[in-house]
């Protein structure tokens, strides 16, 4: 597994972000309240100013160009399977933390490219036995090569 550390193991490019993607995201995360009106407009496609996505918006959900439709991998070895690496012998995964720096905002029409890197593996002993702590880095840029976000995520697997 350590052979995959430090190199780009998956590169994704999104479809152009649509105002509908932004609207649905806002409705979901603000539920049960209505989201702010800035997320509910028609966007540039409907004659309004271009919609700006919430900072934490995910433009890669469900479909990206060239990706075959398939059920998402919900297994604890999903990180390595994405990279074509033999996964560790783990059953469960929980989110340990995130450090994210933001650059320019994502707007309607933007096409986002992500470079995904396996950053580190660490083993620890936890209440439920051995834990595999895995850090990943996901660096997003837009079609103008401007930094959108750089996130380091920690996954705890056991």
Nearest to 13 by CA among 67, 49, 77: 67
Per CB under 8 A, the list member of 96, 107, 109, 113 interacting with other proteins is: 96
Q: Which of 2, 31, 70, 144 binds other proteins (CB under 8 A)?
A: 31
The span of 7-15, 41-49, 98-106, 114-122 binding other proteins (CB under 8 A) equals: 98-106
Using rule CB under 8 A, residue 50 touches other proteins: no
CA nearest to 42, candidates 33, 53, 50: 50
Angle at CA 1, nearest 5°, toward 157 and 82?
Answer: 75
What number of residues does the chain have?
158
**DSSP letter assigned to residue 62:** S
Judged by CB under 8 A, which of 42, 49, 56, 143 binds other proteins?
56
Binding site for other proteins (CB under 8 A): 24-25, 27-32, 54-56, 58, 61-62, 72, 74, 91-92, 94-102, 128, 154
């Amino acid at each position: 597994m350590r052979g995959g550390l430090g190199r780009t193991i998956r590169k994704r490019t999104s479809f152009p972000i649509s105002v509908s993607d932004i609207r649905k995201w806002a409705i979901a995360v603000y539920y049960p309240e209505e989201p702010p009106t800035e997320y509910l407009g028609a966007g540039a496609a409907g004659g309004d100013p271009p919609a700006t996505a919430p900072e934490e918006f995910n433009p890669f959900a469900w479909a990206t160009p060239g990706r075959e439709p398939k059920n998402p991998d919900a297994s604890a070895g999903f990180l390595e399977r994405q990279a074509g690496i033999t996964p560790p012998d783990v059953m469960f995964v929980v989110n340990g933390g995130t450090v994210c720096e933001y650059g320019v905002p994502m707007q309607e029409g933007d096409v986002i490219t992500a470079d995904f890197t396996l950053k580190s593996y660490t083993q620890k002993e936890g209440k439920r036995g051995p834990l595999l702590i895995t850090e990943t880095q996901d660096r997003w840029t837009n079609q103008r090569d401007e930094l959108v976000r750089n996130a380091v995520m920690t996954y705890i697997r056991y």
